[in-house]
Structure 1
Amino acid sequence: MTQKPLRTFRPATLALNAGLEPDALTHAIAPNISMSVNNSFIPGDGAFSANGLDLTETPFLYAGWTNPTVRQLEERLAALENTEDAYAAATGMAAMAAVFFSLLKSGDHLIISDVCYAAINELALQVMPSFGVDVTAVNLSRIDEVIAAIKPNTRLIHAETPNNPLLRLTDLQALSEITRAKNIPLSVDSTFATPVVTRPCDFGVDLVVHSLTKFINGHGDALGGCVAGKKSLISEIRSKAGVYLGASLSAHNAWLIMRGIDTLFPRMNMMCQSAMKIASWLEQHPRVKSVIYPGLSSHPQHDLAKRQMDKFGGIVVFQVDDIDTTEQRFAHESHLFHYAYSIGHQRSLAVLLKTEDLMKSTYRLTSEQQQEYLQYAGKGLFRLSIGLESVEDMIEDLEYILR
């Protein structure tokens, strides 16, 4: 058989083909699912002589550590993010916990974004201190605040761009220059962006984290998470979190997520186009007080968005005066926007994120940070996760809701 020449492919092609090998026996093109928990091995064949901490250098032994189907997903994710390796976990939170608990220990200092995904914010500020980790939350869009927050024992900085729910951006190039100079690992949650919009490691970031449950899977039917980056860091995370935290991704979910990745680029392209049209329409609506979307010239970081984002994402947030009435209309009268948490599914979702609730349950903001949050969010933000429906139908549905 003639061997195919090696070629370099663009990301949209890698989403379909990275790590894909037809089955050697049946020549089936779709990836197989290896459901076996155990793999047999021959004693003394090097099964336990891993190269350093890299468990992927050993044969497949136990699905709690590595699994053929999960490994294929990891290879595809690493190719999409243009990184050396990736580690897949049961959920996005499991991936984030893997980063924190693998790279931090008692006496270390962690810097996070003052506004980010609620569960990650709570893990950092409410759980990590009980393990002896000092945590500082700052506005990572301001480099001077980051520099001021760095301590001699700072061992990790974690950002999120666009962040949830404000869609505030972090300048990854500027921040990575600071972290490299200080020899501090930088991780970035890029769930809202996906590799279609931004590839953080191309800007010098060390680790990129995703909730695969969201846009990357894209069908609302499988939980998963991943962290991609330098092989040395991924190997350390895999050898610690992958073995001891017990948050392994199931082979079936890995297979479902790979199926979702096959259509990631066309889905995101359509969602981003629709989101831009909807954001522009909302900005002109008389009941809408403000709209936040990186693609709008009104976004305070629109110039950064144009430099850092290939597209502007599938999430739109906005304010209205009467949030209670509008919430009830979304919940009871919308035909297309399902009133639900989560994002990134093929169907459109809407939810109200009340400022008062988030301040009580999650964010530990200073008075100055709280005032800044209120400038963006007011009493609450409606978050739209744009799906694959006709954009004209979505706008008509929103027009009915906002009547």
Structure 2
Amino acid sequence: MTDGFATRAIHAGQHPDESTGSVIPPIHATSTYTQDGVGNQRAGYEYSRTGNPTRTSLEECLAALESGTRGLAFSSGMAATDAVLRSVLRPGDHLVIPDDAYGGTFRLVDKVLTGWGVEYTPVRISDPDAVRAAVRPNTKVLWVESPTNPLLNIADLAALAEVAGETSTKLIVDNTFASPYLQQPLRLGADVVVHSTTKYLGGHSDVVGGAVITSDEELADGVAFLQNTTGAVPGPFDAWLTLRGVKTLAARMEQHSANAARIAAALHEHPKVTRVFYPGHADHPGHEVAAGQMRRFGGMVSFTHADGEQAAVDVCSRTRLFTLAESLGGVESLIEHPGRMTHASTTGSLLQVPSELVRVSVGLEDVDDLLEDLLAALE
């Protein structure tokens, strides 16, 4: 029998402690481990940069949730992104990225990897033919977000997996916005999944982390080598906090999605809102694809203000329950202005976001209270 998602979230990689019977696995707050002889490691652990039992529990759980065979935890989502890209790319290689990629990913590619001799092309990842046309002989990676951050465009992951297969490239999917509860890209043909576990997986805005999950053993070995060599690993308490958050992921994502659907519907009818970016709407260009590959439509909503940039900034400053802050995916609702905050690094580039754009991460508060707060800020 295959365990269901919520069962795996609570039990995968998390066994009661053998020595005490503790139901919750302990935090192994140690930097090093006694050895039973030179080169004779007890339980396979020698030094916590290389491996830690609490981190192992998290890595096994994340692999199970994404239907992969290997999970590798990092100190942040950007550390995970950097490790997987450096494990695949070499100087002279090329990658394709979304033309509305997350600002931090764009900064890494545009400011760091190009200095290493890597080339890139932004493309509308909702169009598989455009992605195929962007592939060059030296293309090694198709980097995809779905939904994208912050415009919530949807990629047909199965179609892009076909493009990757035809072109001998690796399809790497940033699944942060969806979480493994709503979408599992490896099942749709992706080679690798990346997460900022800071967001929905942790879920409580109290820990920063990242993860890489794959069933490609050779690629996993390369990422693991960089994980150990560069040392961007989470501490045991960070791993434990993320595991604690994962246990409630299924229940939280259901409520995030339900609340976001109500918020998006209200914004759709508001005279000060010119456009709502939310894949749950039937008029969203990626709605049918999202409905086919996602369980629900998630907790993220973006919209543009009819009165321009300053009005959008003012809305972000007037809310009471929506906290003005970067990040997303926590139990509390957040609001931000991407152009001046999370995506400021894209200013002046092909990836620059609309100046009148507002992004909200819809939390778990009573949705009627959230609606009252946001609509009052719009007035």
Deviation at 1:362, TM superposition (A): 4.9
Confirm or deny: 8 A CA contact 1:293 1:315 kept in the other structure: yes
In structure 2, give the amino acid aligned to 1:38: T
Pair 1:171–1:329, CA change in 2 (3 A): closer
Q: How far apart, in 2, do the equivalents of 1:161 and 1:402 lie?
A: 28
**Deviation per residue, 1:95-121 (Å, 9 max, x gap):** 000011111111222221121110111
* 1:100 counterpart = 2:85: yes
Corresponding residue of 1:66: 51
Q: State whether structure 2 residue 113 is matched by structure 1 residue 128.
A: yes
Alpha-carbon distance change, 359 to 17 in structure 1, aligned in 2, over 3 angstroms: closer
Q: Deviations over 1:292-338 (max 9, x none)?
A: 1000112111111111111001000011123424533432x322100
Deviates more, 1:132-141 or 1:74-83: 132-141
Taking the TM superposition and a 5 Å limit, the aligned residue runs for 1:299-310 are 299-310=284-295
Q: Is the deviation greater in 90-99 or in 108-117? A: 108-117
- Aligned counterparts, 1:203-352, within 5 A: 203-230=188-215, 231-239=217-225, 241-322=226-307, 323-331=309-317, 333-352=318-337
AA in 2 matched with 1:77: L
Runs of 4+ aligned structure 1 residues displaced above 6 Å come to: none
- Specify the SS of the correspondent of 1:353: coil
CA distance in 2 between partners of 1:137 and 1:40 (Å): 50
Q: CA deviation at 1:355?
A: 8.0
Give distance in 2, aligned partners of 1:379 and 1:106: 34
Aligned counterparts of 2:39 and 2:342: Cα–Cα separation in 1: 57
Q: CA deviation at 1:42?
A: 3.5
Which ranges of structure 2 fall in alignment gaps of 5 or more residues? none
Deviation sequence 1:357-389 (CA, Å, 0-9, x none) = 957745631xxxx7xx7xxx6432110101110
TM-score, length-scaled by structure 2 = 0.95
Could you list the per-position Cα deviations for residues 34-85 of structure 1 after superposition, in whole angstroms to 9, with x for gaps in the alignment?
011111223465659xxxxxxxxx8111111111100100000000000011
Paired residue type of 2:319: S
SS in 2 for 1:208: strand
Q: Name the counterpart of 1:397.
A: 373
Select the residue among 74, 91, 111 that pairs with 2:96.
111
Alpha-carbon distance in 2 for matches of 1:383, 1:127? 27
**Alignment partners' CA distance in 2, 1:22 and 1:159:** 37
What is the alpha-carbon root mean square deviation over aligned residues? 2.0
Q: Partner amino acid for 1:320?
A: H
Structure 1 spans left out of the alignment, 5+ residues: 1-6, 49-57
1:22 aligned partner = 16
Structure 1 residues 138, 90: closer, same or farther in 2, change over 3 A?
A: same
3-state DSSP of counterpart to 1:75: helix
The whole-number CA distance in structure 2 between the counterparts of 1:226 and 1:299 is 30
Conservation of the 8 A alpha-carbon contact between 2:106 and 2:346: no
Number of the residue aligned with 1:192: 177
SS in structure 2 of the partner of residue 136 of structure 1: strand
TM-score where L is the length of structure 1 = 0.89
Cα deviation for residue 148 of structure 1 reads: 1.7
- Distance of aligned partners of 1:335 and 1:84 in 2 relative to their CA distance in 1, 3 Å threshold: same
Deviations 1:7-42 (A, max 9, x none): 420112111111111011211111210011111223
3-state SS of 1:382 partner? strand
**Judging changes above 3 Å, is the alpha-carbon distance between structure 1 residues 76 and 359 closer, same or farther for their aligned structure 2 residues?**
closer
Cα distance in 1 for residues equivalent to 2:341 and 2:62:
37
Identity %: 38
Compute the displacement of 1:280 (Å).
Answer: 0.6
Mapped pair 1:388 → 2:364 = yes
1:55 aligns to what?
none
Check conservation: 1:290, 1:319, Cα contact below 8 A.
yes
- Residues 129 and 330 (structure 1 numbering): CA distance in 2 closer, same or farther, change over 3 Å? closer
What do the CA deviations read for 1:267-297 (whole angstroms, capped 9, x no partner)?
A: 1100100000110111011211111100011
Once the two structures are TM-superposed, the CA of residue 232 in structure 1 deviates from its matched residue by: 2.7
Q: What letter matches 1:384 in structure 2?
A: V
SS of 2:166 mapped into structure 1? helix
Q: 2-side partners of 1:100 and 1:22: how far apart?
A: 36
Q: Secondary structure, in 3 states, of the residue corresponding to 1:397? A: helix
SS of 1:135 mapped into structure 2: strand
